[in-house]
Chains A and B, each alone.
Chain A
Amino acid sequence: MFGGGQGAVLSSCETEAGGGVVWRVFQDSVMLIAVSRGGGKEEQVRLRRLLENVWSCMVLVLGQDELVHVKNVERLKKELRSCFSLIDLLLEEKLEGILGSLTHCADSLLPPNASVLQETVDGFARAADSEFGCLIVHGRIASATEKWWRLAPQEVILLSAFVRSLSSSGSASCDYPVFLPQGSPTVAHRLLRFQLLPGADVCVLCGPTPPLHEAEAQLVGRFWSPLVETLRECLALGERCLPGSVTLRPDVLALLLINRETRRSVCCVQMFPHHHTLSKTRRWELLRSFYTFSTSRYFSQEEAACGPPEERALVGDFLQGFSHQPQQCYLVTEECKSFGLQTPQHQLFLLSPPDVPTFALRTVATQTLLLLPLMN
C-alpha cells in the first residue's frame, strides 16, 4: 500500500526459505494470489501464467460481470465452486502430455486421417449453425474449423481443458453457457459437446439454435457414424500424438514442437527402445522445466513482448543485452541433455539421454524437426 501511494507496483516476493508469492488484481475487482515452494525466474513465469489462466477460467464459467460487479460475496463464493474442477486441472498439471496451459499453444494430436476429420468437423459445425467446431481426442485437438483457430490462443486452451473436465465425468452431451475471456467476456455463447466415443468429444460454439436435443438426434449420427473407425484409430494413437508413419530417432526421449504461427503444439514421450531409466512422469517434468528455462532466458515469446509490464520484465536480462535473437540453446544435467531450436515458424524442445555427445544434440534436433509433420 505504501508503494502504491508512491506509484510503485509490487507484484511478487520471495520468502527466505525459497518460496515464491505472486499476485495480480484483475479488473480492479478480484485479486488472485499464487504461492509456491520454488522461487526464481522460471517459477514466476509459471505462476503468472497460472494466475492469468485461473482468472480466465472464472470468466469462462461465470462471466466477467458476475466477477466485477459483485452483489453478494457469499453467493459468488458458492458459484465459484463450479470453476474448481477446471482450476484443479490447471493446478495439478499432472495430466501428462498436456502443456497448453504453460505454452499457451493448443495441445494437438496429428490424426492419421486428417482430411476426412477436417471435412466432417467443418460440415458438422455448419449444420449446427456454427463456425466454431472442434474435435478433441484424449484432451488434444485432433481437428478444428478455421474459425476455432482464430479464437485467442488462451481461449482455445481453456476450452480444451473445459471439454476435458466435462468429458472425464462421463456424461454423453452437454449444453453449457460459456463466456470467452477475450472475445466475449460478458455475453455467453452456448458450448455444445457430444461424447462420440469415450475419450473423443466433438464440440461447437453456437448461438440460440439448434437445441441440444435436435443437434444430438439429427447431426451426431449423420456426420460421425461413418467415422467410428477413424475415431478409434485416433484414440489408439494415445499419448503419442503422432501418426504411426513417423519414426523418431531412438535418442529422443521426449519432445515438444510448437508452431509459432498457428500456436499449436504436439508433444510426446518415447518409451521405446528401453535403454533409459527415466520414468514417463519425470520426462514430462523435465520437458516442462526445460521449456520454461529456455523461454524465460533465451527464446522470447511473442505474447510476453506485448503482455503486461511485469511479464515483459521477466524476459531475460540476457536477451535485453543483445540486438539479435538466440536460435538454439542447450542444457546438460545429470539426468538428460536438452536442446531447444527455433526457426521463424517453429520451436522444438527435446530431451536426449546423457550419453549422447553434446555436439550431436544439434543434429538430433534438426533431423527431428525435418521428420515431423509440421502442422502447417
Chain B
Amino acid sequence: MTGVPHAGSLVVSDWHRCPDSKEYFSKILHKKRRKRFGLLESPVMPPHVPVDTVHYKIFLSGKSGVGKTALAARLAGLNIPTVHHETTGIETTVVYWPVKLRESGRVLFFRLQLWDCGENALRRFDHLLPSCKDQVDAVLFLFSFTDRTSFDDLSNQITKWTESSAGCVKVVVGTKFDLFMHCDVSGREVRDFQEKWSLPVLRTGGEVTDVLGDVAPILNCLSENLWHQDCVTAGSLSRPSQPETTAL
C-alpha cells in the first residue's frame, strides 16, 4: 500500500455535473431514476464510443443495524428499506458508475458489486464469511452516527481485515448523518479517526434528492481508490491489468 490518493487526483470529481458526462450517465438512468440491470445486462454505449468496464467486489462491513443493506440500495438507486431487519444471508447489488480518469481523459464504467451479509447470519453459518472475503477488492466499513458502539468498533474491524486481506482498499462510511438530533459521534472524533488511520471517511443519510449527486462522493471515492490500488499493484501509474470488456 502506498497510502490513499488525494481526492480528485486520479478521477474527475463531480464529473456527473459536466456536460461531456451526459451521454455516459444517461446509460445508467431511466426516466430520471437509476436504471436496473439484471446480471445479463450492462450499460450499452454506441459502437463508436468504446468503453471498458472494470469489475470489482466490495464487501460491506459493520455492526447489525448500521445500514449496510440501506447503503447498498442507496448506491444502486433502489428503494431504501424503511424498517430495519436482519439480512439472513448474502445479498449482492451491482452498481454501474462511469468515471473519467484525470490524466488520460479516458472514461471507464466501474461495475461495483456490493456484498452485504447480516452479522448474525455470518456468525450462525460458517460458509458465508469466506465466500464474502474471497477475491474481495475493497471493504466499506460502516458506522452509524447514531450508534456510538458501531464507531468504537471500527478500529477492531479494520485491524482484522488488514491482517486477513492485505492489499484491499478500505473506505469508511458514516450512516444516518441526517439524524443529527440523535448524533452520538462528534465531528472532531471523526477527524481524529481519519488522521489516525489515514483512510477516507464519508457521510451519508437522509432523503435522496439528487439521484446522482447523492451517491457521487462515495462512488467516486471508491472508484478512485480501487483504480489507485490497481495501479500500485501493476507497478506503474499507467493502465494496470487487462481491461475486462463488456461481454454481454
Interface residues, chain A, CB within 8 Å of chain B?
61-62, 78-79, 81-82, 84-85, 166, 169-177, 188, 190-191, 194-198, 200, 208, 211-213, 216, 220-221, 224-225, 228, 231
A-B contacts, 9 of them at CB < 8 A, read A82-B118, A171-B78, A172-B39, A188-B125, A194-B39, A196-B38, A197-B40, A197-B41, A231-B40
Give the distance to chain B from A228, nearest Cβ to Cβ, in Å. 5
Are A174 and B40 closer than 8 Å at their CB atoms? Answer: no
Determine the chain A residues whose CB is within 8 A of the CB of B37 once the complex forms. Answer: 172, 198
Partner of A213, one of B78, B81, B125, B131: B131
Question: A168 — nearest CB in chain B belongs to which residue?
Answer: B79
Are A225 and B40 closer than 8 Å at their CB atoms? Answer: yes
Q: Mark B82-96, 1 if CB is under 8 A from A, else 0.
A: 011111111111100
B232 near A: Cβ within 8 Å? no
B203 near A: Cβ within 8 Å? no
Supplied contacts A171-B93, A196-B40, 20 more A-B pairs, CB within 8 Å: A79-B120, A81-B83, A81-B85, A82-B85, A82-B86, A166-B91, A169-B79, A170-B93, A171-B78, A172-B92, A172-B94, A175-B89, A176-B91, A177-B89, A190-B127, A191-B89, A196-B39, A213-B135, A224-B40, A225-B40
Are A78 and B86 closer than 8 Å at their CB atoms? Answer: yes
Interface residues of B, count at CB 8 A: 39
Determine the chain B residues whose CB is within 8 A of the CB of A173 once the complex forms. Answer: 39, 91-92
Are A174 and B78 closer than 8 Å at their CB atoms? Answer: no
Determine the chain A residues whose CB is within 8 A of the CB of B93 once the complex forms. Answer: 170-172
Are B38 and A197 closer than 8 Å at their CB atoms? Answer: yes
Tell me the dominant secondary structure on chain B's binding face.
loop
Are A198 and B85 closer than 8 Å at their CB atoms? Answer: no
Cα A194 to Cα B91 in complex, Å, equals: 10
Partner of A211, one of B36, B94, B131: B131
Determine the chain A residues whose CB is within 8 A of the CB of B85 once the complex forms. Answer: 81-82, 84-85
Are B131 and A61 closer than 8 Å at their CB atoms? Answer: no
B76 near A: Cβ within 8 Å? yes
Are A170 and B78 closer than 8 Å at their CB atoms? Answer: yes
Are B40 and A81 closer than 8 Å at their CB atoms? Answer: no
Are A177 and B131 closer than 8 Å at their CB atoms? Answer: no
Chain B contacts with A in 89-107, Cβ cutoff 8 A:
89-94
Are A169 and B91 closer than 8 Å at their CB atoms? Answer: yes
Determine the chain A residues whose CB is within 8 A of the CB of B134 once the complex forms. Answer: 211, 213
Cα A191 to Cα B130 in complex, Å, equals: 17
Give the distance to chain B from A294, nearest Cβ to Cβ, in Å. 38
B73 near A: Cβ within 8 Å? yes
B121 near A: Cβ within 8 Å? yes
B248 near A: Cβ within 8 Å? yes
Partner of B40, one of A78, A211, A220: A220
Question: B77 — nearest CB in chain A belongs to which residue?
Answer: A170
B247 near A: Cβ within 8 Å? yes
Q: Which 6 A-B pairs have the closest CB atoms?
A: A176-B89, A197-B38, A170-B78, A81-B85, A175-B90, A172-B94
Cα A265 to Cα B143 in complex, Å, equals: 47
Are A221 and B79 closer than 8 Å at their CB atoms? Answer: no
With most chain B CB atoms within 10 A of its CB, the pick from A177, A196, A216, A228 is A177
Cα A79 to Cα B84 in complex, Å, equals: 11
Give the distance to chain B from A58, nearest Cβ to Cβ, in Å. 12
With most chain A CB atoms within 10 A of its CB, the pick from B39, B92, B125 is B39
Q: Mark B61-81, 1 if CB is under 8 A from A, else 0.
A: 000000000001100101101
Q: A82-B85, A175-B128, A221-B248 are in contact. Are A212 and B40 (CB under 8 A)?
A: no
Determine the chain B residues whose CB is within 8 A of the CB of A174 once the complex forms. Answer: 89-92
B16 near A: Cβ within 8 Å? no
Chain B contacts with A in 206-221, Cβ cutoff 8 A:
none
Give the distance to chain B from A142, nearest Cβ to Cβ, in Å. 15
Give the distance to chain A from B3, nearest Cβ to Cβ, in Å. 29
Cα A376 to Cα B247 in complex, Å, equals: 38
B113 near A: Cβ within 8 Å? yes
Are A177 and B121 closer than 8 Å at their CB atoms? Answer: yes
Question: B55 — nearest CB in chain A belongs to which residue?
Answer: A217
B57 near A: Cβ within 8 Å? yes
Cα A82 to Cα B247 in complex, Å, equals: 36
Cα A224 to Cα B38 in complex, Å, equals: 11
Give the distance to chain A from B117, nearest Cβ to Cβ, in Å. 8
Give the distance to chain A from B126, nearest Cβ to Cβ, in Å. 10
Give the distance to chain B from A357, nearest Cβ to Cβ, in Å. 47
Q: A212-B131, A221-B247 are in contact. Are A170 and B79 (CB under 8 A)?
A: yes
Are A177 and B88 closer than 8 Å at their CB atoms? Answer: yes
Give the distance to chain A from B36, nearest Cβ to Cβ, in Å. 5
Determine the chain A residues whose CB is within 8 A of the CB of B41 once the complex forms. Answer: 197
Give the distance to chain A from B60, nearest Cβ to Cβ, in Å. 12
Cα A166 to Cα B73 in complex, Å, equals: 13
Cα A257 to Cα B36 in complex, Å, equals: 33
Determine the chain B residues whose CB is within 8 A of the CB of A81 once the complex forms. Answer: 83-86
Determine the chain B residues whose CB is within 8 A of the CB of A208 once the complex forms. Answer: 127
Determine the chain B residues whose CB is within 8 A of the CB of A225 once the complex forms. Answer: 40, 248
